[in-house]
Structure 1
Amino acid sequence: MKKFYLALFFSTLLISGCTEETSTDIIETEDIQGIVASTKETAEKHDVSKFEEYELQDIIDGDTIRIKYNGSPEKVRFLLVDTPETNHETLGEQPYGPEAKEFTKQLLAGQDTVYLEFDVSYRDKYKRLLAYVYTKDGISVQEQLLKNGLARVAYIYDPNTKHVDWFKSIQKTAQKSAIGIWSVEDYVTNRGYDKDAYYAATKDNSETENDESNTANKNSCVIKGNVNSKGNKIYHMPGQRDYDNTVAEEMFCTEEEAEAAGFIPATR
């Protein structure tokens, strides 16, 4: 199975391209803080002067917020993107869901309002508002979720397709870099996210790492224990004169292990 890449510093290490190193660590909150800080400094700032400004009330999920709209609380679903779930009634929590939510939360932290760019249709079949969401200084939340591998392009329904080509181009870059949700083969599907594929890949990777670790530990045990013709138990260290010619009857990783087993060091 393809090795996967879970990047912890998207804006620096990950955008530079994928490597052959693997990790099973999920992104930590401190890493999200660093990513968001970098994003705020380097992200493209779009002109929001023609968009509508609304009071921000809550972050519900990576791709859903609550605003005050015409005097009442309203959910806003981010157009054309889909982040993994955090508390879905049937899907539960999905890998990278909490990270996506934390990213959106921190990107919008300290802001009492957001700017919304509407497409042709304002609502979906669930009566939620549909919009492209921007910070007060013009950062596109959708763009940054896609760029950092925390969302996929999805739910492309006419007539709300204004930014689909733009979003797909950003997603393509994230896929090539194998970051975030794209770091695990087959986790992202046309229907959403496959937790079974994610955990299978994680398990395979962990087992491989354990095998490699065990092999490394075994290879590090290079002290040769030998019983000579007089019945003396002698251990030989690499570099000593007779080391290469010594036939090991036991191998030890440390001198302490050898001595605990009753062996004494060779004199030369």
Structure 2
Amino acid sequence: MQINSMFTIKKFSLFFCLILNLVTPALLATEIYRSVDDRGRVTYSDVPSTGAQKLDIISQPGRHLHDVARVYDGDTIILADKKQIRLLGVNTPEIESRLRAEEPGGVAAKKWLQAQLQENKVYLEYDQTKRDKYKRLLAHVFTPDGKHINQALLENGLAFVSIIPPNIRYSDKLIQAQQQAEKQKLGIWSMSAYQPKPIEQIANHNKGWQRFIGIPASIKKSRKYTRLMFDDKIDIRIQNTNLDLFPALNIYVGKSLEIRGWVSRNKDHYTVLIQHPSALIVR
């Protein structure tokens, strides 16, 4: 019995060493190199070559290197291991699919993202909630040379801020990037489809992200939501669990307010779910 036990232990040890040898190189791939060939083409690799520049971003805690298989749309990528990555804090217009019509700016965002990720290597950084309701991984995406893709989409007017607590990392930088693009009227900020409409026209809304202008008249609270009421058929609602992120809601009452988000309808009642103060702007 003792001999059998020793044999089992040795067998397990050999198996463990084999697994460790297979896994360790992937875990230790903590260096990446940038090369430019004589035609100006940039490539990245975890193997050094003559004249290659070692990049430092990988020393950032919480970021992990992955291979990209393809870009699905402006805010979603597919990794080589087939995992779907949804970029945190941003939303780009939809591209045409079997279920959705194309939205203005959607193709431009996808093409831009494809150009940024043509070397097929990215670093992913997660926040508090790692997956969404569709089981996609949620992440901030960085190129090997340190570009924050989520932020760059906003800077170029290709996306708008969409912050969903508790994932609020980098929110200040994302909001600032959007403000800069909006001020310069870049990309979607110059498109008629995304200009503010009077909230009284909410019944004529499109399916995608919209901007409305209105003056809330009162506040109504329920067990789950607090609502800013524009009339008895139009409101915006905030989850009570997120109220700590907002200033006192009475500062919005009687003020001209821009609302950014997606419209939900229940019979003749229209509402917009607001999850972060960045979607409410006093005008």
**2:180 aligned residue:** 173
Tell me if structure 1 keeps the 8 A contact 2:57–2:144: no
TM-score when scaled to structure 1?
0.50
| Higher strand content, 1 or 2 | 2
Q: 1:108 aligns with which of 117, 120, 132?
A: 117
Q: 2 CA distance for matches of 1:60 and 1:178?
A: 26
Q: 2:155 aligns with which of 147, 151, 165?
A: 147
TM-superposed CA distance for 1:193, in Å, is 3.7
Q: 2:86 aligns with which of 77, 81, 84?
A: 77
**1:93 aligned residue:** 102
**2:143 aligned residue:** 135
**2:130 aligned residue:** 122
TM-superposed CA distance for 1:129, in Å, is 0.2
Q: 2 CA distance for matches of 1:175 and 1:66?
A: 29
TM-score when scaled to structure 2?
0.48
**2:73 aligned residue:** 61
Q: 2 CA distance for matches of 1:164 and 1:63?
A: 16
TM-superposed CA distance for 1:90, in Å, is 4.0
Against the structure 1 CA distance between its residues 108 and 188, is the aligned structure 2 distance closer, same or farther, given a 3 Å change threshold?
farther
Q: Provide the alpha-carbon RMSD of the alignment.
A: 2.6
Against the structure 1 CA distance between its residues 188 and 178, is the aligned structure 2 distance closer, same or farther, given a 3 Å change threshold?
same
Structure label with greater radius of gyration: 1
TM-superposed CA distance for 1:121, in Å, is 1.2
Against the structure 1 CA distance between its residues 103 and 188, is the aligned structure 2 distance closer, same or farther, given a 3 Å change threshold?
farther
Q: 1 CA distance for matches of 2:194 and 2:165?
A: 26
AA partner of residue 57 (structure 2): D
TM-superposed CA distance for 1:47, in Å, is 3.4
Q: 2 CA distance for matches of 1:87 and 1:46?
A: 38
**1:22 aligned residue:** none
Which 5+ residue runs of structure 1 have no aligned equivalent?
1-36, 38-44, 195-268
The number of equivalent residue pairs is 147
TM-superposed CA distance for 1:103, in Å, is 0.2
Against the structure 1 CA distance between its residues 83 and 126, is the aligned structure 2 distance closer, same or farther, given a 3 Å change threshold?
same
Which is bigger in relative contact order (C-alpha 8 A, separation at least 6)?
A: 1
Tell me if structure 2 keeps the 8 A contact 1:181–1:188: no
Q: 1:47 aligns with which of 38, 50, 57?
A: 57
Q: 2 CA distance for matches of 1:167 and 1:48?
A: 22
Tell me if structure 1 keeps the 8 A contact 2:104–2:193: no
Task: Indicate the SS of the match to 1:173.
Answer: helix
AA partner of residue 152 (structure 1): F
TM-superposed CA distance for 1:143, in Å, is 1.3
Against the structure 1 CA distance between its residues 184 and 97, is the aligned structure 2 distance closer, same or farther, given a 3 Å change threshold?
same
Task: Indicate the SS of the match to 1:174.
Answer: helix
Against the structure 1 CA distance between its residues 186 and 98, is the aligned structure 2 distance closer, same or farther, given a 3 Å change threshold?
closer
Q: Deviations over 1:225-268 (max 9, x none)?
A: xxxxxxxxxxxxxxxxxxxxxxxxxxxxxxxxxxxxxxxxxxxx
| Structural mapping, 1:181-260, within 5 Å | 181-185=188-192, 187=194, 192-193=208-209
Identity of aligned residues (%): 38
Q: Deviations over 1:106-137 (max 9, x none)?
A: 0111x232100110111001100000001111
Task: Indicate the SS of the match to 2:83.
Answer: strand
Task: Indicate the SS of the match to 2:150.
Answer: helix
Q: Deviations over 1:201-242 (max 9, x none)?
A: xxxxxxxxxxxxxxxxxxxxxxxxxxxxxxxxxxxxxxxxxx
Against the structure 1 CA distance between its residues 46 and 193, is the aligned structure 2 distance closer, same or farther, given a 3 Å change threshold?
farther
Against the structure 1 CA distance between its residues 121 and 90, is the aligned structure 2 distance closer, same or farther, given a 3 Å change threshold?
same
AA partner of residue 47 (structure 1): I
Q: 2 CA distance for matches of 1:184 and 1:112?
A: 31
